[in-house]
C-alpha cells in the first residue's frame, strides 16, 4: 500500500496518455476483446463492481517509472467502479483504483513478437495479475507455444493451466475458444464459460435460438404482433 505522500505525488489519469499509441497489427486485436466485453455486459449486467479495458494503458508503481504503462490487449478488474466517478476512463491507474490490479490480462500475439512470453509475463507477475491469457492462433509454432494458454500466478510465478475452457474460480468465469462467425464469416473466437464448461451465448445467438424455438411451436417470429 502506498503512503499518502507518495500517492499524492503520482500523476492523475487526466495527465497520462490513454495508451502507448502502438497501432494494432490486425483487426482481431480489437474485435476479439470487444466481443468478450460485450458478452460480459450481458453476463454481469446487474453487477457494478468490474471494469474491462481494451487496448488501454495500465499505470502502476511496480515498474521502473509510474508514468510508463503496460498496455494489454484487454484486462479485467474486479472490485472497482464500472464508470469511475460516472465518467469513462481514459486509462487505468492502480493508485486511483484503491490499489486494485487487473485480475486478468489478455495478450494476442501478432506477426511482430511483443515479448508476451517474457517481458510482459514478468511485468504482469510483478504487478500481481492473477490470470494471464496468451492467444496465439497463427504464430504459436514460431514461438514454440500453444495457440491458447492460460497462466495462473502461484507464489509469484506463472503456472500454465491445463484444460480448456479454463475455469477461473476467483473470477467466476471460464475462458476458451470456439468456432463462430462474425458478420457471416466463420472464424475462431474467444468466449466466457460457466463452471460446467457451457459457453455463454452472444445476443445474436440467443435471438437465433429464440426464433428457432418459436418456429418449432409453429410461430413465425417475423410476424409477431407488437403490443
Q: Which tens digit of pLDDT belongs to each residue from 50-62?
A: 999 999 999 999 9
Structure confidence at residue 3 (pLDDT)? 59
pLDDT in tens, 70-117: 999 999 999 999 998 888 999 999 999 999 999 999 999 988 877 999
C-alpha to C-alpha distances, 111 to 24, 87, 115, nearest whole angstrom: 11, 35, 12
Q: What is the pTM of this model?
A: 0.86
> In what order do the strands lie in the sheet containing 173-182?
166-168, 173-182, 185-193
Does 197 sit behind a cis peptide bond, omega within 30 degrees of 0 on the bond before it? no
Cell numbers 466466457 correspond to 192
In this predicted structure, the answer to whether residue 4 has a pLDDT above a threshold of 80 is: no
C-alpha to C-alpha distances, 218 to 89, 116, 213, nearest whole angstrom: 48, 52, 9
As a whole number, the mean pLDDT across the chain is 89
Structure confidence at residue 226 (pLDDT)? 52
pLDDT in tens, 136-172: 999 999 999 999 999 999 999 999 999 999 999 999 9
- Beta strand extents in 9-81 (DSSP E only): 50-54, 58-59, 74-78
Mean pLDDT over 29-45 rounds to 94
In this predicted structure, the answer to whether residue 227 has a pLDDT above a threshold of 50 is: no
Which helix (DSSP H) or strand (DSSP E) does residue 174 occupy? Answer: strand 173-182
Mean pLDDT over 196-204 rounds to 93
Amino acid at each position: 500500500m502506498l503512503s499518502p505522500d507518495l500517492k499524492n505525488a503520482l500523476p492523475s489519469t487526466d495527465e497520462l496518455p490513454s495508451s502507448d499509441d502502438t497501432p494494432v497489427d490486425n483487426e482481431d486485436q480489437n474485435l476479439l476483446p470487444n466481443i468478450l466485453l460485450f458478452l460480459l455486459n450481458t453476463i454481469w449486467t446487474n453487477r457494478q463492481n468490474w471494469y474491462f479495458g481494451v487496448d488501454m494503458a495500465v499505470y502502476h508503481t511496480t515498474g521502473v517509472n509510474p508514468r510508463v504503462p503496460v498496455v494489454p490487449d484487454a484486462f479485467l478488474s474486479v472490485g472497482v467502479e464500472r464508470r469511475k466517478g460516472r465518467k469513462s476512463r481514459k486509462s487505468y491507474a492502480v493508485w486511483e483504483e484503491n490499489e486494485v490490479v487487473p485480475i486478468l490480462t489478455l495478450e494476442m500475439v501478432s506477426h511482430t513478437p511483443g515479448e508476451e512470453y517474457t517481458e510482459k509475463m514478468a511485468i504482469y507477475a510483478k504487478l500481481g495479475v492473477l490470470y494471464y491469457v496468451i492467444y496465439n492462433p497463427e504464430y504459436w509454432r514460431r514461438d514454440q507455444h500453444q495457440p491458447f494458454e492460460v497462466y495462473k500466478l502461484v507464489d509469484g510465478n506463472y503456472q500454465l493451466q491445463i484444460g480448456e475452457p479454463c475455469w477461473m474460480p476467483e473470477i467466476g468465469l471460464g475462458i476458451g475458444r470456439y468456432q463462430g462467425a462474425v458478420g457471416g464469416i466463420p472464424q475462431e473466437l474467444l468466449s466466457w464459460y460457466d463452471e460446467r464448461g457451457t459457453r455463454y451465448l452472444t445476443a445474436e445467438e440467443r435471438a437465433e435460438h429464440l426464433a428457432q424455438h418459436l418456429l418449432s411451436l409453429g410461430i413465425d417470429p417475423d410476424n409477431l404482433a407488437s403490443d
